[in-house]
Every structure is written in C-alpha cells, then in structure tokens.
Structure 1
Amino acid sequence: MTALMCESAAPLPVAAFANDAETASRVDLGLRRFLASDAVTVDLYDDLETVLGEDAARLSAEDSMAIVCRLRAVTPTLRYVVARLLRPYPSEMDDVMARSSEFPGPEDAHGHLVRFASSILTVLDLMGDLAELREDASS
C-alpha cells in the first residue's frame, strides 16, 4: 500500500465551532428541515392548494385522479420523514396511509381527494416549522 503526502501543503485552518444548546438546536432544526424537504415540496403545497384552497373548485374525475396519484407517490416519503421527525408517531399518519390505499370509482374521486388532501395537510400541520417551505428551497 502506498500513501501520498504533499509536503508543501500548509496546515488547514481549524474552524471555530460553538458547543452550546442554541447552536445545537439550530443545527438540529436545519437537519430536520432538510429531511422533511424530501417530502414537503412546492408541488405538494400546490396540489393541496388546488384541492383545499380558497379558490378550489370541483375538479373533473381525471384531474382528481391525477392529483391523487401525485399524493400517493409522496406518501411513502412523507411516512418515512414523519416516522423519524415526530415523536410520538401521529395516528393522523395512519389516516394518510389508509387514504393512499383507497381506489374510489370516478364518481367518488373528488370526495376521496378532498379527504386525502385534508389528511396530508393535518400531518403537515403537526410537523409545524419542519413543513414550512424556505425561500431558498422554493426557487
């Protein structure tokens, strides 16, 4: 085994770091938000706004099913994130999982979508600051 050493390299400066509760708390929140950003995206909030927002209108069965498919796709990641970030594990996440496995007929698609989106929004509310989109994450 051969090791290469650069003899002319100057020693690297040692960065100062803080070892206090405030800094640890900020780092912890940053890491938790980073993990949450895998599931909590602008697209997720856009879909929730389309379904539950102030200007929400009844969607066609096709549009409802398209959004349901996107919500279903994010559900496993949301479950993973919630399991690691929230203690105790919220029973509301069980509602999200149950709704993600329902396959209603076209006549029930809109009602199912509203219930599904409401369940996800409840979990995001429980996540609080962790579910907030940061300015830099949305661009």
Structure 2
Amino acid sequence: MTAVAYETASPLPVAMFANDDATACRVDLGLRRFLASDAVTTDLYDDLETVLGEDAARLSPEDSEVIAHRLRDVAPTLKDVVERLLKPYPPQMNIVMALSSEMPAPHDTYGHLVRFASSILTTLDLMGEIAELREDNAAS
C-alpha cells in the first residue's frame, strides 16, 4: 500500500509517497475506523453506558423500549461493518441480529435490553481498536 503525505512547509502542496508497513497499517486502521464510525457513535456508547454502566439503574419498560429501538436501528449497520472488518465473521454478531428482531413482552423488555446491549458490547470488544471513536466523531 502506498500513502500520500503532503508537505505543508512549502507554498505549494508537494506529495511525498510512503511505501512502508507502518504507514500502510496507519492508513488501513484509519480507513477501518472511518467505516466503523457509521455504526459506532457516541450515542451508541451512551446507550450502552445507560444499560450496562456502573451507575446503570433498572429502566422502566418504556425507557427500555426506547433504547432497544435505537439499538435495533444500529444493528444492521453494525452487521454491515462487522462483515467488512472482521475475518472470520464472529458468531456473536448472529446473536446481536437475533436479539434485534425480538419484540419481548413489556415485563421482559429490560432483560432483553441487557442481553441485547451486552451482545453489542461484546461485538465492539471483538472489533477492538477499530471500534474506538474518532476524535471528530466524539466531539459531535
């Protein structure tokens, strides 16, 4: 892989080419993070923190359903990202997709939400560094 770096000291942009493994790894990681940023947002982490964080309290069925709906919305995008970024495809993503299609009874909503959020968090853990938020994404 060849990367182009522009020299900023000169009045006109001059392209400098780098063809080394370290540059290729940085470019690859940057592209993977950019792709992951479609699904892995600050809002997703906020919802996971609300459900699974240290200060998480049992949510009402209504609040649980609101967050579950948002997680259902992000699941297909996350699946698309995982299919492109993780080889081999993690079986955990199948669990996320199965839970995203469940519509539990009101008294089971919170338990379902905890299982769903835990599965998404496990998938993000499998993605590792790629799932970390980009600085500009975290600022929005």
TM-score (norm: length of structure 1): 0.89
Provide structure 2 residue ranges, at least 5 long, that are not aligned to the other structure.
Answer: 1-11
- Equivalences for 1:56-71 in 2 at 5 Å? 56-71=56-71
3-state SS, counterpart of residue 17 of structure 1: strand
Shift of 1:14: 4.5
- Counterpart in the other structure of 1:24: 24
Q: Relative CO higher for 1 or 2, CA cutoff 8 Å, sep ≥ 6? A: 1
Shift of 1:136: 2.5
Q: Distance in 1 between matches of 2:54 and 2:111?
A: 17
* Percent pairwise identity: 75
Contact 2:33 2:134 in 1 (8 A): no
Shift of 1:137: 1.8
- Counterpart in the other structure of 1:6: none
Aligned length: 128
Structure 1 letter corresponding to 2:72: R
- Counterpart in the other structure of 1:112: 112
| 2:23 equivalent to 1:40 | no
Pick the structure with greater CA Rg: 1
Provide structure 1 residue ranges, at least 5 long, that are not aligned to the other structure.
Answer: 1-11
Shift of 1:62: 0.4
Shift of 1:135: 2.6
3-state SS, counterpart of residue 33 of structure 2: helix
Q: Distance in 2 between matches of 1:57 and 1:135?
A: 29
Pick the structure with more strand per residue: 2
- Counterpart in the other structure of 2:135: 135
Structure 1 letter corresponding to 2:78: L
Q: Distance in 2 between matches of 1:108 and 1:93?
A: 22
After superposition, the CA RMSD in angstroms is: 1.1
- Counterpart in the other structure of 1:96: 96
Pick the structure with more helix per residue: 2
Shift of 1:134: 2.8
Structure 2 letter corresponding to 1:65: E
CA deviation vs aligned residue, 1:53-95 (integer Å, no higher than 9, x gap): 0000010000000000000000000000000000000000000
Q: Distance in 1 between matches of 2:127 and 2:24?
A: 19
